[in-house]
Amino acid sequence: MATGPIARPRPAWLLFGGLATVVLVADQLAKAWIVGNIAPGQVVDVIGTLVRLIFSRNNGALFGLFGSSATLFAIGSLAVLGLIVWYHARTPRSLLLSIALGLLLGGALGNLIDRLRLGYVVDFVDIGIGTLRFFTFNVGDSAISTAILLLLFLAVRPAPKPVHVDA
């Protein structure tokens, strides 16, 4: 019997690319609606003051961290996008990994487009109680956060036990 390289199942490119596209389109459409309908700084209550819309310009990273670095983050984002695609290509087929990386790619692309086009990222979801508020975020940030949680889950879950067949 000849031995050769072990065939690995190919990554789920359609799921990965399709999910990234859906996140990117949803992110850009939501941001376009916000920019066209809400003035910067204007607050629109959605669920009382618990969930509000507020058009804010984020010059920093995820959730506004490290402000005034949009250009630096745009350059870093290009490298990250390449790493996401490279990693997806190198890993065996995994439904959860393809979902996580598709979410990550779509969110990163949505925020990169803002940085390159506008010089900042449009954030608009504001959640909190009274003056205790979470960072303002957008659809892309939500996708990135969900992807990170999925990747953490994949990293800490126990490996499946091999199946032994007795002859």
Domains of the chain, by residue range, sit at 13-156
Choosing from 114, 123, 126, 166, which is the catalytic residue? 123
| Separation of alpha carbons 34 and 51, rounded Å | 15
123 catalytic per annotation: yes
What pLDDT does residue 63 have?
47
69 CB-contact burial (10 Å; exposed 0-12 / middle 13-18 / buried 19+):
middle
| Separation of alpha carbons 159 and 136, rounded Å | 36
Separation in Å, CA 164 to CA 157, 161, 167? 21, 9, 10
As given in the structure block, the two tokens for residue 148 are 């990170």
pLDDT in tens, 3-49: 555 555 566 889 999 999 999 999 999 999 999 999 998 999 999 99
pLDDT in tens, 89-146: 888 878 999 999 999 999 999 999 998 899 889 999 999 998 899 889 999 999 999 9
What pLDDT does residue 10 have?
63
Q: Say if CB 138 and CB 27 are below 8 A apart.
A: yes
Higher local confidence (pLDDT), 76 or 117: 117
Task: Tell me whether strands 132-133 and 51-58 are parallel, antiparallel or unpaired.
Answer: unpaired
Residue 56 reports pLDDT greater than 90:
yes
45 catalytic per annotation: no
As given in the structure block, the two tokens for residue 133 are 């508020």
What is the pTM (predicted TM-score) of this model?
A: 0.80
Choosing from 27, 114, 126, 141, which is the catalytic residue? 141
Identify the CA nearest to 107 among candidates 36, 30, 34, 52: 30
